């Protein structure tokens, strides 16, 4: 499993939305403002925000005064959820993507327990990290890639 720019930038978008939320229900953050703060292409962020919108992580309004905001509190948005939304599976090997495992070699595969254990550790860890944690993390500075 390798996290692409799509997944990494999606996390930056989520953090930016959380950091810049005023708490007003009628106030949305423009994608152009996010792109400028993060130093990213607005065009590329459009495709990412569309995935986050479909995944229920953000909501948007078009037109004047439009933009985006988190669809739920940052404390309820996990890194695992955001990455699954943008990247798909978080499993370390493709044979674990489908349950039950359909690989004809699975029954005799001596490495399968390693991949299952690694997948469990990855998922447990990423489920434990929220966008709220990232916002409050000393190591994170908004506007960096």
Residues 29, 67: Cα–Cα separation, whole Å: 5
Confidence band, pLDDT 50/70/90 cuts, at residue 97? confident
8 Å CB contact between 100 and 60: no
- Structure confidence by residue, pLDDT tens digits, 102-131: 788 888 899 999 999 999 999 999 999 999
Interaxial angle between packed helices 31-38 and 42-54, expressed in degrees from 0 to 180 and rounded to the nearest 10 = 120
Residues 40, 11: Cα–Cα separation, whole Å: 13
- Structure confidence by residue, pLDDT tens digits, 49-77: 999 999 999 999 988 878 999 999 999 99
Average pLDDT score, the chain: 91
Q: Total domain count for the chain?
A: 1
Does residue 139 register a pLDDT over 70? no
CATH of residue 77's domain is 1.10.10.10
Residue 16 domain-assigned?
yes
Give the pair of three-digit tokens for residue 26: 């009628």
**CA-CA-CA-CA torsion sign (18, 133, 144, 121):** negative
Does residue 145 register a pLDDT over 50? no
* Residue 32, pLDDT score: 95
Does residue 27 register a pLDDT over 50? yes
Residue 64 domain-assigned?
yes
Domain range for 52 = 5-89+129-136
Residues 79, 124: Cα–Cα separation, whole Å: 11
Give the pair of three-digit tokens for residue 122: 């990855």
Residue 41 domain-assigned?
yes
Write phi, then psi, for 38 (nearest 5 degrees). Answer: -90, -10
Q: Which residues contact 26 (CB under 8 A, 6 or more apart)?
A: 65
């Amino acid at each position: 499993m390798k996290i692409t720019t799509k997944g990494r930038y999606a996390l930056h978008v989520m953090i930016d939305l959380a950091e810049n939320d005023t708490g007003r229900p009628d106030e949305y953050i423009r994608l152009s403002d996010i792109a400028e703060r993060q130093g990213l292409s607005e065009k590329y962020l459009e495709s990412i925000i569309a995935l986050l919108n479909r995944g229920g992580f953000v909501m948007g309004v078009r037109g004047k005064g439009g933009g985006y905001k988190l669809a739920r509190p940052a404390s309820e948005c996990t890194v695992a959820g955001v990455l699954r939304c943008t990247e798909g599976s978080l499993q370390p090997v493709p044979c674990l993507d489908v349950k039950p495992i359909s690989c004809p070699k699975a029954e005799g595969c001596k490495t399968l327990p390693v991949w299952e254990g690694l997948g469990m550790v990855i998922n447990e860890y990423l489920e434990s990290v929220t966008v709220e944690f990232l916002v409050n993390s000393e190591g994170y500075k908004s506007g960096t890639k």
